[in-house]
Amino acid sequence: MKIAFALIAHQHPKTVERLIRLILADGHIVAVHYDARAPEADFRALSDAFAGNDSVRVVREFHVAWGQWSIVAATLRCLDEIADAGWEPDYVHLLSGADYPIRPIGDFAAFLERNAGKQFLECVPSNERRWVRGGMQQERYLYRFHFNWRDQRRLFDLAYNLQKFLGLKRKFVRGIEPHMGSQWWTLTWEIVKQIMVLAREPDILKFFKTTLIPDELFFQTMVAHLTDFRNIAGRNLTLYQFTDYGVPVVYYADHIDYLLRQPFFFARKLSSHSPELHEGLEATWRADAERRPRQFPDDAFGRIGTEYEDYRISHRLGVPGRPVVGLLSNLWAENLGGLTRPYFCVLGTSTAELRVVQRALTQMPELLCHGQLFHPHRSEFAGGVNSYAGYDADATEILHVSAPNFLADLILSETERTSGFLLRWGQGWHIHEIMFDRPNVRVAALRGDPFLAFIETLKPVHPHLDESLDIQPLFELPAEALVHRFRQFVVAFCAFNKNIDELMFSYIETKPKGWASYIELGETTSQRSIPLRRSSARKNADPSETVQNVALLHWRSWMAQLGHSFDIDFQNGGADWSSVLSDLRELEKLRQVAVDRLVECGLSRSALESLKEGSDDPKIVLAFV
């Protein structure tokens, strides 16, 4: 098998020389077209290096401009050289100066030997199928293009828009069916000879000279016109990929493993700034090499995987799953938006009840439950430590500057366990809204007891988790003041619960099933059902569909569900519930004390009894106001 390589180069003569020597070492032949606008010295260096070598021909005729006929003209010039030299190869392979083989050229020759007669080029009927990812496809040959898209953009746009406005469409030359595909091909010499004859016909030449990007059109159309489609493999043997900006991806020395597992024989482009990758690839072809190119069946060659495309799409806005410094603009929402690790958040109306939840959660060793991170005086880290992940517990000023970064750092710093935190009513600005919005956060809203929350509002600051509930202010305040405070409290409490309900229903679609729920403290489950949505705009929606994601759970079943969704075996936690239950009984007593004191102050007991956990009914509010 004798292969002729048509090589188009415009810079880096040293790299090109290296590539040519590699080809010559296997006994193949090369015709090089070197760009006319490149420095004379570069061309001299290249042609002198192969002076007197019969297997190489170096020519220089055209200034190759992107998207114009010159690139096809340079290719045809190389083919002419091959014909002139009388080499009569079996196959011709088109290469650029930045290409390099990723497998031994011997393998390439053997592959062509096995598949002799096939034309390896991408060939898509462009009137039937979309091939161009974005931008013009059929317009490339329906209109005439005399200007360069990159250098003469204004003239290009003007001429194109004018033709479009006047409707100056043209028919394809000789009624041939147009085909498109990648520029890089491997063709048999027979068909190349026929193409060279056709390329000299004046009408064909005239037509293709005014098409846009003819290198992706000319050879493809000619091959489809000249041969039966069964002989066209429809894939090319050079690996090439594009960035978002339509520029070929460049491969560096760290890509060697990636390249070795690609089912191609050549790759485009290799970095010209360092020869490391070239050397690394050559080293894998030696017989005693440790790493070798992965082997593929013949049918697999030319079929690209999705690895790069996945990377390109997922990295468009930074590293997936990580907040990136200097990247995000909408600071509150998006710094947490970059974070994809699952964590949980328990919303509550009083610290006393959250303390019970925390005590229960700390019995599960696979969970890391922080306290009230957004407490205005001191962040409560798990285990009561004073400093966590570089943040001091007392330095709460940092939360005013960058609360989302703070939360993201805390969650990222724990690598083994699943983190979570408690969020009390009145803390953390609107961060609870963000918690509902994020699909990776498991939110549980505690159906808080109004009387316990009321006792806590009587003190000027929020209590800490390690403080016990202080009922002294209940008896210190005069009766009128207490009743006035209570009325104000009920209005705010109902508004808060209503807000939580609305959030729960409006964001439930963004969450996986079971990732948002109400939990209820107490030894026995109450009969209270979950609230129905109020939003009038959503009345027509099927209620059963959305409500099934929200459930009112007893706290123990909630913990079982929590463990289940984080893949934690809840039963093995060795949970000792007796202390938790005694806490609950204690809270029940305090609640009763508060109710008695309010009745003493002149409020009706029946009205107070109707104020249940998580109340948000405006009628109840009216009873007190």
**Rounded Cα–Cα distance for residues 354 and 360 (Å):** 10
Quick one: which of 274, 472, 499, 579 contacts another protein (CB under 8 A)? Answer: 274
Give the residue among 292, 316, 465 at the shortest CA–CA distance from 393.
Answer: 465
Which span (123-131, 206-214, 409-417, 553-561) binds another protein, by CB under 8 A? Answer: 409-417
3-state helix/strand/coil string of 314-351: HCCCCCCCCCCCCCCCCHHHHHHHCCCCCEEEEEECCH
Quick one: which of 40, 203, 228, 245 contacts another protein (CB under 8 A)? Answer: 245
Q: Which two tokens stand for residue 575?
A: 């949970």
Please report how close the Cβ of residue 306 comes to another protein at its closest, in angstroms: 13
Nearer of residues 39 and 512 to another protein, judged by Cβ: 39
Residue 424 burial (C-beta neighbours within 10 Å; 0-12, 13-18, 19+):
buried
* Residues in a beta bridge with 343: 441
Amino acid, single-letter form, for residue 299: D
Q: Which two tokens stand for residue 120?
A: 């390896």
DSSP code for 119: B
Q: Which two tokens stand for residue 476?
A: 């210190």
Quick one: which of 36, 65, 176, 412 contacts another protein (CB under 8 A)? Answer: 412
Please report how close the Cβ of residue 248 comes to another protein at its closest, in angstroms: 9
Please report how close the Cβ of residue 268 comes to another protein at its closest, in angstroms: 14
Quick one: which of 131, 285, 296, 308 contacts another protein (CB under 8 A)? Answer: 308
Please report how close the Cβ of residue 398 comes to another protein at its closest, in angstroms: 5
Which span (19-27, 94-102, 145-153, 245-253) binds another protein, by CB under 8 A? Answer: 245-253
Asked if residue 11 binds another protein (CB under 8 A), the reply is: no
Asked if residue 537 binds another protein (CB under 8 A), the reply is: no
**Rounded Cα–Cα distance for residues 339 and 320 (Å):** 8
Nearer of residues 411 and 521 to another protein, judged by Cβ: 411
Asked if residue 429 binds another protein (CB under 8 A), the reply is: no
Nearer of residues 394 and 609 to another protein, judged by Cβ: 394
Quick one: which of 316, 539, 585, 619 contacts another protein (CB under 8 A)? Answer: 316
Which span (42-50, 171-179, 395-403, 472-480) binds another protein, by CB under 8 A? Answer: 395-403
Q: Cβ neighbours of residue 45 under 8 Å, at least 6 residues apart?
A: 13, 17
Q: Cβ neighbours of residue 17 under 8 Å, at least 6 residues apart?
A: 45, 46, 49, 50
Quick one: which of 405, 546, 549, 565 contacts another protein (CB under 8 A)? Answer: 405
- The CA R_g of the chain, rounded to the nearest whole Å, is 37
Asked if residue 505 binds another protein (CB under 8 A), the reply is: no
Q: Would you say 384 and 333 are in contact if contact means Cβ atoms under 8 Å apart?
A: no
Nearer of residues 267 and 568 to another protein, judged by Cβ: 267
Residues 137-176 that bind another protein (CB under 8 A): none
Dihedral sign (CA 230, 232, 234, 235): positive
Nearer of residues 322 and 487 to another protein, judged by Cβ: 322
Encode 212-226: b = buried (16+ Cβ within 10 Å), e = exposed.
bbbbbbbbbbbbbeb
Nearer of residues 329 and 536 to another protein, judged by Cβ: 329
**Rounded Cα–Cα distance for residues 21 and 25 (Å):** 6
Dihedral sign (CA 104, 110, 111, 113): positive
**Rounded Cα–Cα distance for residues 466 and 351 (Å):** 10
3-state helix/strand/coil string of 393-456: CCCCHHHHHHHHHHHHHHHHHCCCCEEEEEEECCCCCCHHHHHHHCCCEEEEEECCCHHHHHHH
Torsions phi, psi for 107 (to 5 deg): -65, -40
Quick one: which of 115, 138, 271, 362 contacts another protein (CB under 8 A)? Answer: 271
* Residues in a beta bridge with 387: 392
Q: Measuring CA to CA, how many Å separate 158 from each of 135, 150, 382?
A: 17, 14, 66
Nearer of residues 192 and 267 to another protein, judged by Cβ: 267
**Rounded Cα–Cα distance for residues 558 and 518 (Å):** 9
Torsions phi, psi for 586 (to 5 deg): -60, -45
Quick one: which of 53, 152, 340, 413 contacts another protein (CB under 8 A)? Answer: 413
Asked if residue 116 binds another protein (CB under 8 A), the reply is: no
Residues 548-577 that bind another protein (CB under 8 A): none
Which span (69-77, 238-246, 347-355, 533-541) binds another protein, by CB under 8 A? Answer: 238-246
Which span (25-33, 340-348, 390-398, 496-504) binds another protein, by CB under 8 A? Answer: 390-398
Asked if residue 41 binds another protein (CB under 8 A), the reply is: no
**Residue with the two structure tokens 């109902």:** 494
Which span (74-82, 374-382, 399-407, 533-541) binds another protein, by CB under 8 A? Answer: 399-407
Chain centroid offset of residue 620 CA = 48
Nearer of residues 86 and 390 to another protein, judged by Cβ: 390
Which span (107-115, 371-379, 406-414, 602-610) binds another protein, by CB under 8 A? Answer: 406-414
Residue 504 burial (C-beta neighbours within 10 Å; 0-12, 13-18, 19+):
buried
Please report how close the Cβ of residue 585 comes to another protein at its closest, in angstroms: 38
Mark 326-345 with x for binding to another protein (rule: CB under 8 A) and - for no binding: xxxx-x---x--x-------
Asked if residue 97 binds another protein (CB under 8 A), the reply is: no
Nearer of residues 273 and 459 to another protein, judged by Cβ: 273
Torsions phi, psi for 412 (to 5 deg): -75, -30
Quick one: which of 41, 166, 287, 401 contacts another protein (CB under 8 A)? Answer: 401
Nearer of residues 296 and 308 to another protein, judged by Cβ: 308
Please report how close the Cβ of residue 336 comes to another protein at its closest, in angstroms: 13
Asked if residue 392 binds another protein (CB under 8 A), the reply is: yes
Asked if residue 110 binds another protein (CB under 8 A), the reply is: no
Torsions phi, psi for 374 (to 5 deg): -105, 25
Asked if residue 250 binds another protein (CB under 8 A), the reply is: yes
- In this structure, the chain runs to a length of 625
**Rounded Cα–Cα distance for residues 342 and 439 (Å):** 8
Please report how close the Cβ of residue 460 comes to another protein at its closest, in angstroms: 22
Nearer of residues 183 and 186 to another protein, judged by Cβ: 183
Please report how close the Cβ of residue 252 comes to another protein at its closest, in angstroms: 5
Which span (76-84, 182-190, 248-256, 372-380) binds another protein, by CB under 8 A? Answer: 248-256
Element (H, E) at 549: none
**Rounded Cα–Cα distance for residues 305 and 358 (Å):** 48
By CB under 8 A, name the binding residues for another protein. 241, 243-245, 247, 249-250, 252-255, 271, 273-274, 276, 308, 311-312, 315-319, 322-329, 331, 335, 338, 387-392, 394-395, 397-398, 401-402, 405, 409, 412-413
